Amino acid sequence: MDVIFGVSGLRGIVGEGLSPKLICNYVASFAKEIPPGKVVIGNDSRISGEMVKNAVISSLQALGFDIIDIGIAPTPTVQFVTKIKNASGGISITASHNPEKWNGLKFIEGNGIFFNEKKIIAIKRNLEEKNFKFQAYDKLGKLCDDPNAKELHMNSVFQKIDFDCFAKDNFNVAIDACNAAGSEFIPMFIEKLGFKVIRLNCDAKASFPRNPEPLKENLASFSDFIREKGNIDIGFALDGDADRVAILDEKGQYIGEENTLVLASKFFIEHMNPQNKTVVTNLSTTRALDDVVSSNGGRVVRAKVGEINVVEEMIRVNASIGGEGNGGVILPMVQYARDSLSAISLIMLGLSKSKLPLSSIVSELPKYYMVKDKIAISRESFEKNLPYLKEFFTGYPYNDIDGLKFDLDDSWIHIRPSNTEPIVRIIAESKSMEKANKLVEEIKNLMKVLC
Residue 39 contacts residue 90 (beta carbons within 8 Å): yes
Residues 131 and 176 in one domain: no
Same domain, 261 and 362: yes
In CATH, what number is assigned to the domain containing residue 386? 3.30.310.50
Whether 96 is catalytic: yes
Q: Which of 255, 281, 301 is the last residue of a domain?
A: 255
* Under 8 Å between Cβ of 226 and 198: no
In a domain, 161, yes or no: no
CA distance 310 to 322: 7
Do residues 389 and 432 share a domain? yes
93-105 average pLDDT score: 95
Angle between helices 149-160 and 185-193 (to 10 degrees): 40
In 3-state terms, what secondary structure has residue 57?
Answer: helix
Q: Does 186 map to a domain?
A: yes
Choice between 169 and 304, residue whose per-residue pLDDT is larger = 304
What does the alpha-carbon distance between residue 312 and residue 338 come to, in Å, rounded to a whole number? 13
Mean pLDDT, all residues of the chain? 95
Q: Are residues 8 and 130 in the same domain?
A: yes
State the pLDDT confidence band at 419, using cuts at 50, 70 and 90. Answer: confident
Domain with 176 in it: 169-255
Q: Which of 43-47, 167-171, 196-200 has the lowest mean pLDDT?
A: 167-171
Q: What is the pLDDT of residue 267?
A: 96
- Total domains in the chain come to 4
pLDDT at residue 450 greater than cutoff 90: no
Q: Which of 45, 48, 59, 96 is catalytic?
A: 96
Say yes or no to pLDDT of 132 above 80: yes
The pLDDT-based confidence of 162 (bands split at 50, 70, 90) is confident
Instruction: Confirm whether 157 is domain-assigned.
Output: no
Res. 355: pLDDT tops 90: no
The arithmetic mean of pLDDT across residues 196-203, rounded, is 98
Inside any domain, residue 184? yes
For residue 118, count other CB atoms closer than 10 A to its CB: 8
pTM of the model as a whole: 0.95
Give the distance from CA 76 to its chain's centroid.
9
Return the minimum-mean-pLDDT range out of 62-71, 122-131, 162-171, 267-276.
162-171
Does residue 1 have a pLDDT over 70? no
Of 2 and 258, which is predicted with more confidence?
Answer: 258
Q: Is residue 134 in a domain? A: yes
Please report the pLDDT score of residue 448 as a whole number: 84
- In this predicted structure, what is the pLDDT of residue 347? 96
pLDDT number for residue 26: 98
pLDDT at 421 over 80: no
Check whether residue 83 and residue 53 sit in a common domain: yes
- Residues 246-273 as b or e (16 or more Cβ within 10 Å = b): bbbbbebbbbbbbbbbbbbbbbbbebbe
Reply yes or no on whether the pLDDT at 167 is more than 80: no
In the predicted structure, residue 430 carries a pLDDT above the cut 90? yes
Give the pLDDT confidence score for residue 323 in this predicted structure: 98
User: For position 163, what pLDDT does the model report?
Assistant: 76
Q: Model confidence at 190, in pLDDT bands (50, 70, 90)? A: very high
The pLDDT value given to residue 404: 95
Is 9 found in the same domain as 147?
yes
User: Domain holding 326: CATH number?
Assistant: 3.40.120.10
Q: Is pLDDT larger for residue 421 or for residue 240?
A: 240
Nearest to 344 by CA among 186, 222, 150, 112: 186
